[in-house]
Structure 1
């Protein structure tokens, strides 16, 4: 997927996202499972690098990977502006050829949900396994089925501000437990005092917790934690975001 103009609007639209909660969650899990204080972290589907930079500021050695050239351009500029030296690579998370092994790998902000097929998810788990050192931890979070079914499908969201507005319509996708997001952005061009319109179509798909668990076990991981909504408790029927913490078993 190419995010095109969306890459340059993303941070504005996500300014209230709980990025600090992701960082806190990962740090607590690393302490719990005895990962060293300055791990080498691979931020897969890093987007505009917001979490990459935040982890770097916490002392992590960070590498970022994303499929979108535009997202990576924003990420690189952001890291440099904040004095962080982070290598970013344009790669598909299903194929990390040339990358080293890492202490920690994360796919945050429901980025895994952008994969369209079961095969893509399985290939991604296999790719992560190959590039995680023995004993290393893999984190990811996904939307629950309930979130897609009741939080997104057939819903309309809108924002109306002076410099940027959007209309966001979500409707059921063709595949099971999938949703398509149709977004129209209106961005003020201050040179002309007129608004430019940009349209995007995004796809997300999720699976039952047990299905993710099966694929992880088949890929060779040990499942350490499955929880929800940044809390340590197990997912409930109305949980919105499911978190997985798994380990590549020592051989």
Structure 2
């Protein structure tokens, strides 16, 4: 049995600073993407969708407002707490058809779904490569027969060609200094800042997975790759020019 340890994402994603830094993500874009995606998949109104690694639940909430039953899961307790609080504050949400739960994505969940969405590069953080495959296998187990899975990942060739080596952003009086690098098959982002006289340093790390790497996982897990899109408008994927690598899978 592998010794228990806390991965980097478990600590960083659970801090309030993570939510401060990324709190300005485009909600309008997320809503349009969910509408485009569910239409392309022809999902019925009674479909039950899993938002895997849902973060603070922005995609889950949009899916709920489109009329779907949604289960959002994430490893971060703070993110799940935030998502649950939004349910209490948003009168347009049907709280009887949405659930948020703390869950490790490398393990199967206790329910099966008409679709599993893994969005906004919420994959490839693991220290052990086997956990990438474990996650794909768990996604398959979470799907009903004939159901769809969607993995929305960064398009690595495009990212590497346009990598911003360093920049800074000031939010709520905190200046976040960020430095990026590509090293040993991973893209790293070092985040340094000072708050209340205390200095902080966190490092994000995402595996620079190519389409061929994902295809290997899909073949081993027994999932069929049926379509690929290159952006949130669902235009055709281009290896070097597309901003995203959005893969549509089906469980036979």
Shorter-chain TM-score tier:
0.7 to 0.9
User: Which residue is 2:6 aligned to?
Assistant: none
The CA RMSD measured in Å over matched residues stands at 2.5
TM superposition shift of 1:59 = 1.5
User: Which residue is 1:169 aligned to?
Assistant: 179
Q: TM-score, normalised by structure 1?
A: 0.83
Alignment of 1:90-239 (within 5 A): 90-97=102-109, 99-152=110-163, 155-161=165-171, 163-173=173-183, 175-176=184-185, 178-187=186-195, 197-230=199-232, 231-239=234-242
**Could you tell me how far apart the structure 1 residues matched to 2:173 and 2:46 are?**
40
1:83-131 per-residue CA deviation (whole Å, 9 max, x = no partner) reads 443322222101034x210111111110113234431111111100001
Q: Which piece of structure 1 moves more, 116-125 or 43-52?
A: 116-125
User: Which residue is 2:70 aligned to?
Assistant: 62
TM superposition shift of 1:186 = 4.3
User: Which residue is 2:53 aligned to?
Assistant: 45
Q: Does 1:89 align with 2:101?
A: yes
Distance 1:161-1:128 versus aligned 2 partners, 3 A rule: closer
Contact 2:21 2:171 in 1 (8 A): no
**Could you tell me how far apart the structure 2 residues matched to 1:181 and 1:104 are?**
31
Report SS of the residue matched to 2:124: helix
Aligned length: 239
**Could you tell me how far apart the structure 1 residues matched to 2:124 and 2:240 are?**
19
Distance 1:133-1:5 versus aligned 2 partners, 3 A rule: closer
Q: Is there any run of 5+ residues in structure 2 with no aligned partner, and where?
A: 1-8
**Could you tell me how far apart the structure 1 residues matched to 2:136 and 2:13 are?**
29
Deviating beyond 6 angstroms after TM superposition, the runs of 4 or more aligned structure 1 residues are none
TM superposition shift of 1:137 = 1.2
Distance 1:12-1:170 versus aligned 2 partners, 3 A rule: same
Distance 1:119-1:5 versus aligned 2 partners, 3 A rule: closer
**Could you tell me how far apart the structure 2 residues matched to 1:78 and 1:195 are?**
31
**Could you tell me how far apart the structure 2 residues matched to 1:158 and 1:236 are?**
29
**Could you tell me how far apart the structure 2 residues matched to 1:149 and 1:117 are?**
23
Contact 2:156 2:210 in 1 (8 A): yes
